[in-house]
Chains A and B, each alone.
Chain A
Amino acid sequence: MPQPLEGTFSADHSARLLRNYRYVVERTMRALGGWIALTPELSAKLLMGRHVWDLAQHCDSFGRRLPELRAHAHVSEAANPAVAAFMDCLEEPEGPDQTVERLVGVYSVLNPHLLATYRDHLSRANPVYEPPTRRILVRCIDDEERHIAAGDTILRHLTGAPSAEERAVSRQRRLEELLVAAGGVTGEGLASHQAPEGEPLRADPSDDAREFIRLETATTAWPIHASLGDALRSFAEALVAGDEEALGRWLASGLVLGATPWTLIRGARYSGHRIVAFAKLGDQRLVKTRLDGPSNSAVVLVRWASAPGGWRVAALDVVARDARPA
């Protein structure tokens, strides 16, 4: 049975859609690239790092297709100012504690919308005279399915705490409102093309988000020798208690507590401590201890050196202070 020759839109319209897609995908690609350095969590960094290149290839395919549709190559165009406003908002969160906000914008709002839009476009692109566009869309759909599945996995990992979940929901709601106001990335309204029934989004072994999480969480215990472990515990308890006399007993000769950044957190109230980093520097050890209190938290970095009388603090620094509870 021959394919129908009836088409649903013109070459000019097809070119406009590709420019609209290219606009949001290019901005997303650049945002993801820029966010990698601003994002602390390794799993999220790897996720973004994997997807920048896929999105660049999507942009490239759209851009190369344009001259074949009597348009200028590699041109991006926002469908309307509201789409630009949506993208401005999506790019906004740059703080180290806003990874969830960044990922929600891309993986919970934009990508599912793009997936539905591409599917809708594919269903309407004529198979006789638009195979070049259809092939591009098929590739993009395939990638978006993988991206959404991977993003969802990382987001579930990062939104374990109720407060993070609330932030995610609030962020998603705000961006979805903007997207609706823009009429979607094409300005023509939101496509509702869903995956065929029973077909789950596919992950890919080469960018398995579960592996990114495993790599992030693989270290479950620090290899701390018992003699040092006792010293670390005692010192951390003295930090929490603000007991300067006890702290002083652990200092190497020549080090004066009052001359260290300890003075920055002196007087703050803490109720608990935990080691968050344990590194080697030759025979010395670098230990980061997080102190948490009702209204403050701080991270103290101590360099421990082995001396004839046991482990002693050779240097102390306060590397982070936060006014909020952990």
Chain B
Amino acid sequence: MDRPIAYDKLAREDRFVRMRAREVAELKVAQGLPPFPDLSSRESIKERVHGIMVGELQAMEGAGRTVCDFPDAPWEFTMDMARQVWDESRHVEIYLRLLEHLDGYAGEFPETTILWRCACAEDAAARVAGVNRGLEGLACDVFNQLVHIARRIGDPVLERAVDFVLADEITHVRMGSKWLTKLTEGDAERRRRAIEFQESIDERFNLGGVRREGDHDAVSISIATDVRRMAGFTEEEIDRLIKTTQRSQVY
């Protein structure tokens, strides 16, 4: 088997329209719309849920590639990644069902592959740092906010389902922290590169100032500081993330 595969080999049914994230944002801004769904309406929540669904799809594909691409990694690492594949496959199903719940359908909005590209790092340590800590950290922010919004608008189906997915994501962040440490034991340079990769992903997913510290109802993506603490991010890491969001350029 090819290990790893080129990122453009990601396979999709015809019903999905794939576009660059930057192009999607630019075309929306040109129409006077926010570059990222702001959860201000049911349509906007549906678009956010669709984005999460394709994110879960890519997370499943990325974790699957990690199981495949690193046969020489410690067995326990493979076990954790295999568990993550299972979790993500259930998340895909949950979000497909939530899309139906919101009268939407798979393919209703364009898919960007920015998440998948991040999951294609060639080093296992960089991959878990970037995916499990960077992207799953973002998932903690997004899901925590979505649970809050669902509660506010009185949608118990959305609230419950996302609450359980959030619990899984916290576990995935913990796995990432564990394996970032274990895989880079005695190799400070490898650890530095992996963390640098994660930080570049954090920066990218600040989405030009869309992710910020603030009230769930006031910002497009609010940083879930409590959930991040629970997932094992240090105070220093959370502070650094907040600071980077303050300097991220707006689209």
State the A residues within 8 Å of B (CB): 29-42, 45-46, 48-50, 52-56, 60, 63, 74, 91, 94, 96, 211-212, 215-216, 218-219, 276-284, 286, 288, 290, 299, 301, 303, 319-320
Contacts and interface: CB of A to CB of B under 8 A. Distances in A.
Nearest to A50: B89
Given A279-B107, A282-B27, A53 B68 contact: no
B96 interface: yes
B68 A31 contact: yes
Contact of A37 (B5, B24, B86, B93): B5
7 contacts: A29-B67, A37-B62, A91-B1, A278-B107, A279-B107, A280-B47, A281-B28
Interface of B: 1-3, 5, 9-19, 24, 27-28, 31, 33, 47, 57, 60-69, 71, 75, 78-79, 81-83, 85-86, 88-90, 92-93, 96-97, 100, 105-110, 116
A96 B93 CA distance: 22
A63 B47 CA distance: 44
Given A219-B106, A281-B28, A46 B92 contact: yes
A101 to B, nearest CB: 14
A122 B162 CA distance: 41
Contacts of A30: 1, 67-68, 71
Given A53-B85, A94-B1, A215-B93, A37 B105 contact: no
Contacts of A212: 93
Contacts of A39: 11
B79 A279 contact: no
Contacts of A279: 17, 107-110
Contact of B31 (A46, A282, A319): A282
**Can you list the 8 inter-chain pairs with the closest CB atoms, starting with the nearest?**
A49-B89, A34-B68, A33-B67, A53-B86, A56-B82, A33-B64, A37-B61, A276-B14
Contacts of B106: 42, 215, 218-219
Given A52-B85, A53-B86, A284-B27, A277 B64 contact: no
B109 A281 contact: yes
A131 B105 CA distance: 49
A36 B68 CA distance: 10
Contact of B88 (A40, A49, A277): A49
Contacts of B10: 37
Contact of B110 (A55, A216, A281): A281
Given A219-B105, A301-B17, 20 more contacts: A30-B68, A33-B81, A34-B65, A34-B69, A37-B64, A40-B11, A40-B12, A40-B13, A48-B64, A49-B92, A50-B86, A50-B89, A53-B86, A56-B78, A74-B75, A276-B15, A279-B108, A280-B47, A280-B108, A284-B31
Nearest to B96: A215
B16 A277 contact: yes
A48 B9 CA distance: 17
A13 B86 CA distance: 33
B64 A32 contact: yes
A211 B33 CA distance: 36
A320 to B, nearest CB: 8
A74 B74 CA distance: 10
A167 to B, nearest CB: 17
Contacts of B109: 279-281
B85 A49 contact: yes
Nearest to A43: B13
Given A37-B5, A46-B93, A52-B64, A290 B14 contact: yes
Contacts of B85: 33, 36, 49, 52-53
B72 to A, nearest CB: 11
Contacts of B1: 30-31, 34, 91, 94
B25 to A, nearest CB: 10
Nearest to A36: B64
Contacts of B16: 277
A36 B69 CA distance: 13
A37 B17 contact: no
Nearest to A212: B93
A277 B15 contact: yes
B60 A34 contact: no
A282 B35 CA distance: 10
Contacts of B86: 49-50, 52-54
A281 B79 contact: no
Contacts of A48: 64, 89
A48 B82 CA distance: 11
A157 to B, nearest CB: 13
B64 to A, nearest CB: 4
B64 A219 contact: no
B68 A56 contact: no
Nearest to B32: A282
B27 A288 contact: no
B108 A49 contact: no
Contact of B79 (A56, A282, A283): A56
B4 to A, nearest CB: 9
A279 B24 CA distance: 12
